[in-house]
Structure 1
Amino acid sequence: MQPLHIAVIIGSTRHGRAGDGIGRWAAELAGRRDDVDVDVVDLVDFEFPGSYPDQPTAEMRRFVARVARADGFVVVTPEYNRSFPASLKQAIDYAYDEWHAKPAGFVSYGYRSEGVYAVEQLRTVFTELHVMTMRNGVGINLLDDEPLDSEPRRRAATTMLDQLTWWAAALRDARHAHPYVS
């Protein structure tokens, strides 16, 4: 079986963000799997326009191509004001068909809530894009002293990745057998 192309999307672009370290941790865990080829898609590496242009820019097309290539996604998101960041919403909206019939899992972080409200908002957006979201995810409370790579977090990430890779393989096979109709 060909490895699954899993894009780990780091959704925060804030200076001093925790997301880059958390995203790289998630990518490292996914990369340890024999069935996964990881693509870290850090939104800070893209120069997106300040407003939606009439025609897609080269950076928008580059992002969309990475979404199209992926069989599934691990979305790493902070929680800002009980939702996810505008940078992530902007990027998500640049693609449409490229998201269809693919799965997404979540690694979220925040203060006390572990980013759970951001994930709930993302589930609504991804449902509209015909993305299958994983029930299990990883939540990180930035106020607790638990190390990022603790055993409970690794177990949560493994469960999410097991679900994600099952869906990614099933949906990849389905997309090849029958083009998705939206």
Structure 2
Amino acid sequence: MINKPTIDEYNTYFSKYVDLVPEGDIFETLQQQNNETINLLKNLSETQGLYKYAPNKWSIKEVIGHLSDTERILSFTLLCIARGEAMSLHIYDKDAYIKNADFNRQSVKELLEDFSVVRQSTLQFIKTLTSEDLERKGTALGSEVTARALVFILAGHELHHFKILKEAYIGAEDFPL
């Protein structure tokens, strides 16, 4: 079992993600939340996938793409730190990634399949990590962070967006039916 990280294992900015992760088996949480996100979105029409709850917000398709991109980046960062990388890993510009990816041209189904595959890859990698791997610290996301904290940041990031998808998007009064 992977214990929740302590506040000294990550920048306090990421508390907004780590604090969302429930107590219990993080591996089960990651699997369950992926299933919940896919179940929430799998029956959306392409029109619904293009919905934005405000003009300056991402579409649902862009949010799904962002989840996949961020999972890839955090998983890569997790790999680097777990393996003892000494170099500082950069912070990415999420808005540039959204702009350049053009997620709106992909189907909801394709985006969800990609997200599921990325999560399965992340889960498979996490299974291989030892306690020593998880305790390693590196510099990423603008500060020192442990590999263990990255696992929880990753889970909390999806929980954060799941809540937004459920409430601000699908729960919006003007959401297309």
TM (normalized to structure 2)?
A: 0.29
Higher RCO (CA 8 Å, separation ≥ 6 residues): 2
| TM-score, normalised with respect to structure 1 | 0.29
More strand by share: 1
Between structures 1 and 2, the one with greater helix share? 2
